[in-house]
Amino acid sequence: ESKIYKNFSGALDSAFDSLDRFSKNYSSGALSHELFIARKNISNNFDFETMELIYQAFTPGSEIYSECIKTHPVLLMFEDSDIKEIENNALTKSEAENLFEKWLYNKKEEIKIAIKNKLTKYPDVKPCFLDFFLIPMSDVGNFKKSLYRSIHGIDYKP
């Protein structure tokens, strides 16, 4: 799951809404859609047996599927005004890292509580392991425009 929002709470809300929909609707139809997308990005260094094992691991009802630990990576990119201050105040990489470490220390409880509350609100998501990757930034809008330009080769025009 990947979300890019103006704030952490919006990104987290959207991620859990999406994970909940996926958890409730995971069927062979959903699997077909996921495999259709994955087919274009499958590595060429897998032999047939490995590819078959991967397919079985993603097939609901198969023995391998039931043995797998379900893990969802969740990438949340969001704007945080403190990051702009770090960018403006840090004169060296080391200084920026120290300021970011303080930022993380100050925010970690708030983030943990927000995630815990979402797990209570979305019980169908709870059986899965969630690996969160948080990327706070000073300006999400500029990042989105750069990403659009990189993907499409042209500037974004609203």
Q: What pLDDT was estimated at residue 66?
A: 81
The whole-number pLDDT of residue 59 equals: 79
State how far the Cα of 100 lies from the Cα of 93, in Å rounded to an integer: 10
Per-domain residue ranges of the chain: 2-152
Q: Hey, is 69 helix, strand or coil?
A: coil
- How much is the pLDDT for 81? 93
Structure tokens at 148: 């659009």
pLDDT at res. 34: 64
- How many angstroms separate the CA atoms of 56 and 43, rounded? 17
Indicate whether this model's pTM tops 0.85: no
SS3 for 57? helix
Cβ neighbors of 69 (< 8 A, separation 6 or more) are 129
pLDDT along the chain (158 residues), means of 10: 95 95 68 62 76 82 83 95 95 97 96 97 90 96 91 88
Residue 52: predicted pLDDT: 86
Helix 8-25 vs helix 93-121: crossing angle, to nearest 10: 50
What per-residue confidence (pLDDT) applies to 28?
53
d(CA 67, CA 83): 42
The answer to whether 58 and 65 are in contact (CB under 8 A) is yes
pLDDT reported for residue 140: 94
